[in-house]
Amino acid sequence: MDAYIVAGFRTGVGKAKKGGFRFVRPDDLAADVIKHLVKSVPGLENSMIDDLIVGNAVPEAEQGMQMGRMISLLALGIDTPGMIVNRYCGSGVETIAIASQRIQAGMADVIIAGGTESMSLVPVMGIKTALNYKIATENPTYYTSMGLTAEEVSKQFKISREEQDQFSYESHMKAAAAWKDGKFKDEVVPITVKEVYVDENMKKKTREFVVATDEGIRADTTVEGLSKLKPVFAMNGTVTAGNSSQTSDGAAFVLVMSERMVKQLNIKPIARMVSYAVAGVDPRIMGIGPVAAIPKALKLAGMKLDDIDLIELNEAFAAQALAVVKELNIDRKKLNVNGGAIAVGHPLGSSGARLSVQLFNELGRQKKKYGMVTACVGGGQGVAGIYELLN
């Protein structure tokens, strides 16, 4: 039995700490997207949904208390279970793979999969960092910070500062053009935010506004401006705030169905996951994870890289994205045609699902068939999922 993706939506991506979602709980954000997702499918009832699988990279504080279940209670009701999956930056696409596999195995008919993350409320290192003593003393480089891994990648793979800044500039230009052309409009669920604040007279007030765009895109950025930024991770390094992904808040989800349920509800499926692979790499250069994962996914699908029409490579850092491109000789014309995380943002646990939603829509616009979502993963991993567009 095959598994089909029948719908997918995302929020706009908010800027962490200073954007529209800075005080919005990630479970509330996810619930809004899921409610919209369910309503978009004619004939679908909450009672038909077998499970909710939520990707999240730092499941503590506001993202704790088994947030997957909290989201299912908020969005779907008591009878629909929910769980959290954590493969860090690969979590969002991992959930889609798990949902597809369970349906293919005949263990479910309808699963909602995706991810949510608030980097405003829960920092990337969590509330309390407690390192494993054995690893910290015997293999301390396993705990290399993400920024320093990007610096290491830039050195080992000879990625210049100029290349990184140019890549980042292009990410912003492509993302800005995508919004201007209306490409993201239909996939983004407008989220109404109610915010309590204290005015100049020290009176408690409430304001309401809507977030319906990606807040981090800078249409006015320039290569010259990016080149003036100082490195933030190493004194004489090349990695800056401008050529790194942004810390962000956001959510994205897709609906995965069995062939039986697709026929029962008379739905035209959008896509299916052809293959999915994960791989491990040296944590010091975690950014090259896709170099190991992509060949595995291609082998499972019986395909070659040239068979893939569009690729969404998560831009954790320009250095690592460019290293992946160079190592695999990826055609840049197929890569991140609407920009990436450097411009749009990277809410860790939801990014894989966001990239998947964007990929389906772009494949449709270009009338192409095969696409790939791939990402490096903190700790030294890579993920890659290949999709076939059906509609």
Write out the catalytic residue numbers: 89, 346, 376
Q: How far apart are CA 309 and CA 111, in angstroms?
A: 27
CA–CA dist 10, 252 (Å, integer)? 4
Cα–Cα distance for residue pair 205/208, rounded to 1 Å: 10
Burial track 176-212 (b if 16+ CB lie within 10 A, e otherwise): bebbeeebbeebbbebebeeeeeeeeeeeeeeeeebe
Q: Are 113 and 253 in contact (CB under 8 A)?
A: yes
Q: What is the distance between the alpha carbons of residues 305 and 371, in angstroms, rounded to a whole number? A: 10
- The residue ranges of DSSP E strands in 261-353, in sequence order, are 271-280, 310-313
**CA–CA gap between residue 60 and residue 72 (Å, rounded):** 17
Q: Are 382 and 290 in contact (CB under 8 A)?
A: yes
Contact between 93 and 358 (Cβ < 8 Å): no
How far, in Å, CA of 235 to CA of 257, rounded? 50
Buried residues in 45-57 as b, exposed as e (16+ CB within 10 A): ebebbbbbbbbbb
Is the CB of residue 235 less than 8 Å from the CB of residue 98?
Answer: no
Helix or strand run (H / E) with residue 40: none
- Amino acid, res. 234: A
**Residue 282 gets which letter from DSSP?**
-
Reference 355, options 290, 299, 300; nearest CA is 290
Q: How many CB atoms lie within 10 A of CB 302?
A: 9
DSSP-assigned states of every residue in 163-219: HHHHHHHHHHHHHHHHHHTTSSTTTBPPEEEEEEEE-TTS-EEEEEEEE-S-TT--T
Angle between helices 318-328 and 289-301 (to 10 degrees): 40
Separation between Cα atoms, residue 101 and residue 240, nearest integer Å: 39
